[in-house]
Amino acid sequence: MNNSKPDIKHLFEPRSVAVVGASSNPDKIGFKILDNIISSGFTEHVYPINPKGGEILGCKVYPSMEDLPEAVDIATIVVPAKYTFDAIRDCAKNKTQFLSIITSGFSEIGNLKEERDMVRFSHENGMRILGPNIFGVYSCKHPINATFGPKEVERGHVALLTQSGALGIAMMGKTKAENIGLSAVVSIGNKADIDEADLLEYLIKDEDTKVILMYIEGIKHGQRLIRILKEATKLKPVVVIKSGRSKRGALAAASHTGSLAGADEIFSDVMKQCGVLRAESIDEGLNWCKFLSETSSPSGKNCVIVTNGGGIGVLAADACEKHNVNLMDDLQTMKEVFSPVVPDFGSVKNPIDITGQGTLEDYEKSLFEALKHKEIDSVICLGCQTAVLNAKGLKESVLKISEEYKGSKPIVYSYVGGEEIEDSIRYLRSKGISVFSDVYDAVGCLGALYFHYQNMITPREEIKELPMDRQTILGIVDRVKQDGRTFLLANEAQELMNAAGITIPQSKIATNLDDAVRFSEEIGYPVVMKIVSKDIIHKSDAGGVALDLENKDEVVDAYQAIMINARRYKADAKIQGVEISEMVKKGIETIIGARQDEAFGPIVMFGLGGIYVEVMKDVSFRASPIGKTQALSMVKNTKAYPLLLGVRGDEQKDIEGTLDVILRIGLILDICPSISDIEINPLVVYDEGQGVKAVDVRILLSK
Ligand code: ACO
């Protein structure tokens, strides 16, 4: 038994490597991987394993791992599934550190037990598993290409982690075509053992890796991933492409990898919370990676657009709004900088318009001024093909600017025109310059850079403890469990809200008519009456709710009607009584929820509440615990925010009180993990300083 874990460094920087199932047949994967390893320059300490022995590609073949002269860092296993466990046992005898299991036929087709057994055995023997169901690992250290992907890999600064094998191999090919250099490629497949978080631990410290790109289908250990992503994005950009956005896509992804994809909205919001950039497509992801790996950080937020066309300039300004790129609006400075170089008939307001008559010299002069000026932090250069602006000259001009200023200040280009312009774009891209035919693509790159930059400079938020009566919360939940229920009754939920410091409307449970009347008078009319019975969950459906009761007579009538309705709805229902509560004043109705998410653990949710929830689906999520700044960003991400600020001369609402409830509701789940769902709908928010009220609260326990 050897339970120590090998250092992940040796997966990226192996000193020796074996290929179990190496074959002399060039059509087999066992040949291709060996060929790639040797072709990448890793020629010593390479051990093909095959019972037939002999020699493959000039390397001595060993009959088994036991025969090797040294313990290896990586054994790539490429034998059929039914022989894989035997091969793993063999590797244990060799004291191998990492097993890169190419073989398919495990959890992805329902063969979970064998996969789990392989992991258990490997851990007991000090080994870790990459895969199974993968195409291998490439690292620019040494370098080593232990994949059956493309033989030649461009060395560079983007690390690619991919759950999909075929797409990963295709992306390796595409990065080469797009001239994007790679620092590492790891296929993670079924993630039986090693997952993104393990690999990120190495990559965030790796100096060769400037940007990390992940293709994800499903998350397995979300809370750990969140922790490491938050750390990673403080140091370098992380871009994620996740499939499974649509319901159909999610189904395909789940069956493809055997792992469960979290709800897409939650995934997006949690990634944003971690400072991760989510790309919509492979092209977008690769564009961002290329730009981010080559440009320097901006030193501020002032961006200037230089254009020869008004229309394309306005398009870019729209794109800037979409991608949160801030256009410089200091007119005085822009006039001083650009007046000497922009023709009289042009514009020195942002976008700087050198007009359709603008020559390449005018362009160059404006761009050089922009790139030189200390108040201008980034530049978007746009061009429409005109008779004055020829494609050939354009190519040379961009190269000249790029050579002189490469990387010193972020600059993106977009050119629109015919075949010659398209040729120039292809040529310039092959030189590593971020040029696009679509303005939105160009501005999107800058938006990605600013998102990352903003995340880097934003200090980490301290998460404060809030005073709560933990003992009472745990006690209520214990009682419910002992009662064999997985939901809290209304009075229990209210008691829990009180213990958590969340304001609820005044209410009391009456077990007879006299008490119902007495409590109504104590609380003050108008009041609401609701049935309390663990056998009746949908109270309105059962005719168990009466609103706006204004006097004693109405209370008496409502009490009798509710009792009759309840008996009619479920004759054997055990009725605890009725709940009398204050009729809540009108305010802004919001919804605040928290749930144990399968992928990410405790998640909090905020949105417009009441009847709008279903229609608008205007909610935002964060992984708990969060601080006040994150809670505010959640609120700002919804349409509830302008309402809370006060529309049409309305008073500003109690935003502070709302944030407090968001934080508390997340903490309840941290205190008591057996609560699976809490939903306050509505949480009515009153004018600033007047507080909030949790009107309806539902709490469920995990089954
Ligand atoms: N030790 C050493 N060698 C062995 C052992 C053993 N215990 N058992 C068998 N071998 C040898 C075989 O004799 C053979 O060598 P040979 O060509 O000299 O006869 C070699 O290992 C390979 O065994 P084969 O039975 O020929 O298996 P084959 O190469 O056809 O398939 C593979 C093996 C590739 C692992 C297959 O089972 C498989 O899983 N394929 C799918 C791989 C995959 O797609 N992974 C996901 C990648 S990502 C994506 O989707 C692109």
Probe residue for ligand 1, chosen from 20, 27, 29, 36 as the CB with the greatest number of ligand atoms within 8 Å: 29
Half-sphere exposure of 244 (CA within 13 A, CB side): 27
Report residue 403's pLDDT band, with 50, 70 and 90 as the boundaries: confident
Percent of the chain that is helix, strand, coil (3-state, to 5): 40, 20, 40
Q: How would you class 76 by CB atoms within 10 Å of its CB: exposed for 0-12, middle for 13-18, buried for 19 or more?
A: buried
662 vs 659: CA distance, rounded Å: 5
227 vs 224: CA distance, rounded Å: 5
Predicted local distance difference test score (pLDDT) of residue 218? 86
- Residue 216 is inside which H or E element, if any? strand 211-216
Q: What is the mean pLDDT of the chain?
A: 92
What is the position in ligand 1's atom list of the atom closest to the CA of 166?
Answer: 51
Q: Express each pLDDT in 69-82 by its tens digit.
A: 999 999 999 999 99
Quick one: average pLDDT of 544-558? 95
Predicted local distance difference test score (pLDDT) of residue 246? 58
Percent of the chain with pLDDT over 70: 97
**Over 50: is that where the pLDDT of 89 sits?**
yes
**Over 90: is that where the pLDDT of 574 sits?**
yes
Q: What is the 3-state secondary structure (H, E, C) of 556-608?
A: HHHHHHHHHHHHHHCCCCCCCEEEEEECCCCCEEEEEEEEEECCCEEEEEEEE
With beta carbons less than 8 A apart as the criterion, state whether 618 and 640 touch. Answer: yes
Q: How would you class 468 by CB atoms within 10 Å of its CB: exposed for 0-12, middle for 13-18, buried for 19 or more?
A: middle
Half-sphere exposure of 520 (CA within 13 A, CB side): 26
Q: Express each pLDDT in 182-210 by its tens digit.
A: 999 999 999 999 999 999 999 999 999 99
Q: Express each pLDDT in 334-371 by its tens digit.
A: 999 998 888 888 888 899 998 888 888 888 888 888 99
Higher-confidence residue of 372 and 555: namely 555
Report residue 264's pLDDT band, with 50, 70 and 90 as the boundaries: confident
CA–centroid distance, 81 to ligand 1, in Å, is: 8
Residue whose CA is at the smallest distance from ligand 1 atom 31: 80
**Residue at token pair 């490429």:** 78
Predicted local distance difference test score (pLDDT) of residue 21? 98
Q: How would you class 671 by CB atoms within 10 Å of its CB: exposed for 0-12, middle for 13-18, buried for 19 or more?
A: middle
* Cis preceding linkage at 63, omega within 30: no
**Over 90: is that where the pLDDT of 259 sits?**
no
Q: Is the CB of 21 inside a 6 Å radius of any atom of ligand 1?
A: yes
Residue whose CA is at the smallest distance from ligand 1 atom 21: 21
How many whole angstroms from its chain centre is CA 86?
A: 38
615 vs 137: CA distance, rounded Å: 46
470 vs 501: CA distance, rounded Å: 11
With beta carbons less than 8 A apart as the criterion, state whether 84 and 30 touch. Answer: no
Probe residue for ligand 1, chosen from 28, 62, 65 as the CB with the greatest number of ligand atoms within 8 Å: 28
- For 467, other C-beta atoms within 10 Å of its C-beta total 8
**For residue 119, what are the contacts with CB-CB under 8 A and spacing of at least 6?**
129, 192, 193
Quick one: average pLDDT of 419-448? 92
**For residue 393, what are the contacts with CB-CB under 8 A and spacing of at least 6?**
360
Predicted local distance difference test score (pLDDT) of residue 248? 53
Quick one: average pLDDT of 372-393? 85
Q: Express each pLDDT in 209-243 by its tens digit.
A: 999 999 999 888 999 999 999 999 999 999 999 98
CA–centroid distance, 404 to ligand 1, in Å, is: 52
What is the position in ligand 1's atom list of the atom closest to the CA of 135?
Answer: 47
Q: Express each pLDDT in 481-540 by its tens digit.
A: 999 999 998 889 999 999 999 999 998 899 999 999 999 999 999 999 999 998 887 888
**Over 80: is that where the pLDDT of 580 sits?**
yes
When mean pLDDT is compared over 241-245, 266-270, 497-501, 597-601, the highest value belongs to 497-501
Predicted local distance difference test score (pLDDT) of residue 247? 58
Predicted local distance difference test score (pLDDT) of residue 251? 52
Q: How would you class 396 by CB atoms within 10 Å of its CB: exposed for 0-12, middle for 13-18, buried for 19 or more?
A: exposed
With beta carbons less than 8 A apart as the criterion, state whether 603 and 624 touch. Answer: yes
Quick one: average pLDDT of 10-21? 98
**Over 90: is that where the pLDDT of 315 sits?**
yes
Quick one: average pLDDT of 25-31? 98
Probe residue for ligand 1, chosen from 23, 108, 130 as the CB with the greatest number of ligand atoms within 8 Å: 23
Q: Is the CB of 131 inside a 6 Å radius of any atom of ligand 1?
A: no
Q: Is the CB of 20 inside a 6 Å radius of any atom of ligand 1?
A: yes
Report residue 252's pLDDT band, with 50, 70 and 90 as the boundaries: low
Q: Is the CB of 18 inside a 6 Å radius of any atom of ligand 1?
A: no
Report residue 408's pLDDT band, with 50, 70 and 90 as the boundaries: confident
With beta carbons less than 8 A apart as the criterion, state whether 78 and 36 touch. Answer: no
Q: CA 656 → CA 72, 626, 659, 667, 697, distances in Å?
A: 58, 15, 5, 17, 20
Residue whose CA is at the smallest distance from ligand 1 atom 29: 28
CA–centroid distance, 354 to ligand 1, in Å, is: 62
DSSP state of 487: B
Quick one: average pLDDT of 575-583? 93
Predicted local distance difference test score (pLDDT) of residue 490? 83
For β-strands 55-56 and 59-60, DSSP reports them as antiparallel
Predicted local distance difference test score (pLDDT) of residue 260? 34
Higher-confidence residue of 499 and 608: namely 499
Higher-confidence residue of 140 and 404: namely 140
Q: In a 3-state reduction of DSSP, which class is residue 64?
A: coil
DSSP state of 656: H
Quick one: average pLDDT of 293-318? 92
The sheet carrying 144-147 orders its strands as: 144-147, 136-139, 182-187, 155-162, 211-216, 238-242, 277-279
Q: Is the CB of 33 inside a 6 Å radius of any atom of ligand 1?
A: no
433 vs 406: CA distance, rounded Å: 9
What is the position in ligand 1's atom list of the atom closest to the CA of 131?
Answer: 46
Q: Where are the beta strands (DSSP E) in 276-354?
A: 277-279, 303-307, 352-353
What is the position in ligand 1's atom list of the atom closest to the CA of 49?
Answer: 2
CA–centroid distance, 236 to ligand 1, in Å, is: 38
CA–centroid distance, 118 to ligand 1, in Å, is: 17
CA–centroid distance, 72 to ligand 1, in Å, is: 20
Predicted local distance difference test score (pLDDT) of residue 342? 86
**For residue 238, what are the contacts with CB-CB under 8 A and spacing of at least 6?**
200, 211, 212, 213, 214, 229, 232, 274, 275, 276, 277
With beta carbons less than 8 A apart as the criterion, state whether 676 and 630 touch. Answer: no
For 595, phi and psi rounded to 5 degrees? Answer: -150, 155
Report residue 407's pLDDT band, with 50, 70 and 90 as the boundaries: low
Q: Express each pLDDT in 152-168 by its tens digit.
A: 999 999 999 999 999 99
With beta carbons less than 8 A apart as the criterion, state whether 499 and 472 touch. Answer: yes
Quick one: average pLDDT of 286-308? 93
Q: Is the CB of 185 inside a 6 Å radius of any atom of ligand 1?
A: no
**Over 50: is that where the pLDDT of 19 sits?**
yes
Q: Is the CB of 78 inside a 6 Å radius of any atom of ligand 1?
A: yes
Q: How many residues are there in the chain?
A: 703
